[in-house]
Amino acid sequence: MSSTSLPADFLPAHLWTELLFTGTWEAGAVAATAVLEPATGNLLGHIGNADAGQVAASAKAASAAQSAWYQQPYDERSAVLRKAAQVAEHHFDTIVDWLVRESGSTRAKAAFETTLSIKVLHESAGLPSRSQGEVLPSTSGRLSLARRRPLGVVGVISPFNFPLYLAIRAVAPALATGNAVVLKPDPRTAVCGGFVIARLFELAGLPAGLLHVLPGGAEAGAALTSDPHVAMIQFTGSTGAGRKVGEAAGRHLKKVSLELGGKNSLIVLDDADLDLALANAAWGVYLHQGQICMSTGRLLVQRGIYQRFLERLVAKAKRLTVGDPATANVDLGPLINAQQRDHAHRVVQAAQQAGAKLDAGGGYEGLFFEPTVLSDVTRDNPAFNEEIFAPVAVVVPFDTDEEAIALANDTEYGLSAAVLSRDVGRALKLGERLRVGLLHINDQTVNDEVINPFGGVGASGNGASIGGPANWEEFTQWQWLTVKSDAPAYPL
């Protein structure tokens, strides 16, 4: 990585070649990738692309280092996680700066993401001291235990949108439960999604060889998924890539956790407080430019308040400010790259051709996409069905609660849903019938508190498989252990 104008105390140049990083980090390295600032197009640096050979070498080294780490006293593993949290707290502002510059986050989103990531480290520090199994009933004279053991090497593949949090939410609990980790961040956000994490753990005193950070694209991800030293893949990303990862993991008999895309409904019932409904809708749709797996992809609004809701949403969308979050206090920053922008633009145009009304936005300048409102969207419209991953409100009217349930469930995804109503009983009754992994009554769809299980069903992944109580299950496996004072005299 070459020098940047950003503070270097936390990410100093000597690290580009440190042992902790088995990837090639130096500027001018073979197949180096440019790290670009989406808001300006400026070059922040260069980062190496790991190839299949580097993935194999890292996985092998991680496997060799894992056993000694697991044998360490539990409180020593806890101490490393706690120290990593302290280092992150100390360098909070630098991390936030990087998130703003590298991923186009607003400062508020970047601060929220950093806070969540620190919380993950603190929570993970508590994992090693938890009970690790149970005593089973057995025959007389035999001690029979069911105990949880680490898997070995966990491969983590992470996306660009919450690059730090979506990587560290797997890296930290996997290490805490005694595993080694090979992390492959998205190459567009390899500093926040990889380099920062490696640096936190290096400064926290994590023994060498346990965490390998290998920036790279699909090829490096595919190599990780098929490597014989890797026992599990924790993947967060698109459903398309997730299917490939799931197939490969199945073929190579690896455990796999898939956190994929979503088309999440926020249902606004006709008795909802209109001001609060608008605030929730705008947050769910426009936060981080709509680039969140839990973003509100459909606003289902009951007919009685539909027109008033729509008019005020359009006015709100037109008021939102868009610009470079590094230099101005804006509501929305840029999309991550031209590919994402062109995808969003295509869907908005196709939606209009299919009969939706464009009430606000729809255009873009560079990577800055206007806060957009599409209304009167019907079930056969591409905007109703596709994950847009951009600041586009898709507003759909409905008449009855039954119809709202049918509309919300009309998707292959099943990540998050939310219902707004003054009648909590009615909202809960409706919510019970939504096929999702995350359900919120009187809130919007974008929520994560770290200590909750997180995940979706259907094309959103294989269940609430990560976070909070799910972590111990996820990153360890059962072993049955029996002990007798003497071996039995079997009759053969």
Q: Give me the residues that bind ligand NAD (CB under 6 A), please.
A: 157-161, 166, 184, 186, 217-218, 221-222, 225, 236-238, 241, 244-245, 259-262, 293, 387, 389, 415, 461
How would you class 453 by CB atoms within 10 Å of its CB: exposed for 0-12, middle for 13-18, buried for 19 or more?
middle
Residue of 102, 259, 370, 387 marked active site: 259
Query: Among residues 110, 107, 114, which one has the least CA distance to residue 330?
Result: 107
What are the angstrom distances between the C-alpha of 19 and each of 145, 179, 181, 325, 390?
Answer: 39, 19, 15, 34, 38
In angstroms, what is the minimal distance from the CB of 238 to ligand NAD? 3
CB 184 within 8 A of CB 158: yes
CB 391 within 8 A of CB 290: yes
Residue 144 vs 226, nearer CB to ligand NAD: 226
CB 264 within 8 A of CB 417: yes
In angstroms, what is the minimal distance from the CB of 215 to ligand NAD? 9
Among left, alpha and beta (phi > 0; psi -120 to 50; other), residue 214 is: beta
In angstroms, what is the minimal distance from the CB of 157 to ligand NAD? 5
Specify the 3-state DSSP secondary structure of 278.
helix
Residue 173 vs 237, nearer CB to ligand NAD: 237
Residue of 37, 113, 192, 293 marked active site: 293
Residue 24 vs 158, nearer CB to ligand NAD: 158
Residue 260 vs 310, nearer CB to ligand NAD: 260
CB 424 within 8 A of CB 442: yes
Residue 105 vs 225, nearer CB to ligand NAD: 225
In angstroms, what is the minimal distance from the CB of 235 to ligand NAD? 7
In angstroms, what is the minimal distance from the CB of 462 to ligand NAD? 11
In angstroms, what is the minimal distance from the CB of 416 to ligand NAD? 9
From CA 255, how far away is CA 356, in angstroms rounded? 42
Residue nearest to ligand NAD (CB): 221
Residue 377 vs 415, nearer CB to ligand NAD: 415
How would you class 434 by CB atoms within 10 Å of its CB: exposed for 0-12, middle for 13-18, buried for 19 or more?
buried
Annotated catalytic, 192?
A: no
What are the angstrom distances between the C-alpha of 199 and each of 22, 213, 216?
Answer: 13, 10, 18
The catalytic residue positions are 259, 293
